Every structure is written in C-alpha cells, then in structure tokens.
Chains A and B, each alone.
Chain A
C-alpha cells in the first residue's frame, strides 16, 4: 500500500506564480525525496531531505519537512511553462530497500 498521499491531485496556476504541493506519510522515515515526471517520460529526482532536516533549497525549489506532522511540502517559486509536469514524493524507510510513493500532483502552468 502507498504510504505517501499528495495534495492537491491537480494544480493549475499562471506562469510566474508560486506552486505548493504537499505530501503526507504514515511511518518513521530516513529521508523524503521529490521527483518530477514530464508527460511520457521517466521520473527525475529533484531534491532529497533527510529526517533531521527541516528545510532545503535547490534553485527555485524549497522543500520543508515536519516529522511531527509526518508531512512535507514542495514550493516552486516563479513558475515557468517548463515546470508543467507531475510531481511525486517518495519516502525512504529505515528498514528496507524500498521507496514508498505518493500518487502525485499534476501541475499545469498557464502562459
């Protein structure tokens, strides 16, 4: 069963606006990872945040992690048309080799 749940399922915003998507999970994690998937392509890793970190930045991306609430958010600032994609969170557990995936947020950036 999937551990991660993402919301919203879909998000449509104007170019230049900020986009925020959220991920919740159920059990203790080692780290949480965000991936992007462009239509018809494989997933590409964006950013990883460890369980002892609260915030991480990479370019226009900002990820936060609240382990007490078992949730994470991904913020994309100053969105561009090229950011149109599906975004997935994946939790990396301490105890095994598997990542557990959310169902994804489909982001559409309108020009």
Chain B
C-alpha cells in the first residue's frame, strides 16, 4: 500500500499565484488533515476533514481552502500565494476522528513563495 501520497513534492510560486496541493490515501481512513511545518515549530493544523463531506478550520486557515473530493482525496488550495505561506505542507489521515488511533503522514510538499 502506498499510504498517503502528496503532490507535488516541490513548488515555487510567485506572490499572487494560485496552486493546489493534492493528497490521496488508500487506507480507507475517514479523517484527513493538512498541516504546515515551519522551522523550529511543531505542526500547525490548517484544515481537517473528519469524514467525507465535512471540512473544518484548524489553527491557521487564513489564505487556504480545502476540498474533500471523496473519501480518498483531500486537496489544499492557495488562491493568492503570499511569502508567509512558504512552508512545508503535510497531509495526514487516520481511521477515525476520536479514539486511540494514529496519523499516517505523506512525505511533504515544500512550497516557496517569492
């Protein structure tokens, strides 16, 4: 099994450009998450989807939108990229929102906004 697959792995954007980060999981997980990781900091939650058809804001949602396309796929969109969005983005999934279950992460997408 591939687990969680993110694309692209690297992207350079100019300020004001838009892009979509794609995430897909093949583990039949209900919940999916988008995090950003900045140097010296832990993970900060951008958006999550507790189950297919639902999405909720996390800690740092401004400047982002998400789509839970189906149970497998959860995309993150930057409509007008800003240098403050330069970061490494991680998608993750887990089988259920509550209870003792753990996250499976993708390999990350490194985004640079010039």
Query: Cβ of B102: which chain A residues have Cβ within 8 Å of it?
Result: 33, 45, 48
**Least CB separation from A98: chain B residue:** B45
A2-B42, A88-B42, A103-B42 in contact; A31/B97 too (CB < 8 A)? no
A97-B97, A102-B42 in contact; A42/B106 too (CB < 8 A)? yes
Tell yes or no: B103 within 8 A of A by CB: yes
* Residues of chain B in range 76-114 having any CB-CB distance to chain A below 8 Å: 90, 92, 97-100, 102-108
**Least CB separation from B42: chain A residue:** A101
Instruction: Give how many B residues have a beta carbon under 8 Å from the other chain's beta carbons.
Output: 26
Query: Cβ of B45: which chain A residues have Cβ within 8 Å of it?
Result: 98-99
Q: Shortest Cβ distance from A74 into chain B, in angstroms? A: 15
B105 touches A98 (CB 8 A): no
Query: Cβ of A45: which chain B residues have Cβ within 8 Å of it?
Result: 102-104
CB-defined interface of A30-66 with B at 8 Å, one 1/0 digit per residue? 1101010000111111001010000000000000000
B100 touches A43 (CB 8 A): no
Q: Which residues of A contact B (CB under 8 A)?
A: 1-2, 4, 30-31, 33, 35, 40-45, 48, 50, 88, 90, 92, 94, 96-99, 101-104
Q: Which residues of B contact A (CB under 8 A)?
A: 4, 31, 40-45, 48, 50, 56, 58-59, 90, 92, 97-100, 102-108
Question: Could you name 12 residue pairs across A and B whose Cβ atoms are closer than 8 Å?
Answer: A2-B42, A41-B107, A42-B4, A45-B102, A48-B100, A50-B100, A96-B98, A97-B50, A97-B56, A101-B42, A101-B43, A103-B40
